[in-house]
Amino acid sequence: MRTLGRCGGSDRSRVIGRTERAAFIDRDGPIPGALMVDGFAAGAWHVRRQGADATIVIRPFRPLRPADEAAVRDEAYAMLRFSRPAATGRGVDLERPSAQRQAKSTMIGAWSEGIPG
């Protein structure tokens, strides 16, 4: 997929910087999905299920350009049609990056400079 995908392989440095890589680690382990825009990590996503409905929740690290936002929504709906064909309802929840999340990303970037590549 062009904008939603999983990072495979051992060397991810060309598609995800130290700041973004650190943002994918949570106290419970890695976050399941990487939002990729123009070949670079731009956020995280997961599927939320409620009954027979499925929604992809997308959390960008930074604001997306309008064209990228439209492409991300299109890809998310395509992902739901493929991965949840039996879902009665499908939705995309594209969250706006909060100032707190952007600040956290900056702090994580400063902290992650000490993480071996």
36-77 tens-digit pLDDT? 888 888 888 888 999 999 999 999 988 999 999 999 999 999
* 6, 34, 76, 77, 89 from 81: Cα distances, Å: 18, 18, 9, 6, 10
Place of tokens 């956290």: 104
Strand pairing category for 89-94 and 53-60: parallel
Q: What SS3 string covers the chain?
A: CCCEECCCCCCCCCCCCHHHHHHCEECCEECCEEEEECCEEEEEEEEEEECCEEEEEEEECCCCCHHHHHHHHHHHHHHHHHHCCCCCEEEEEECCCCHHHHHHHHHHHHHHCCCCC
Query: Model-level pTM greater than 0.75?
Result: no
84-117 per-position pLDDT tens digit: 999 999 999 999 887 555 555 444 444 444 444 4
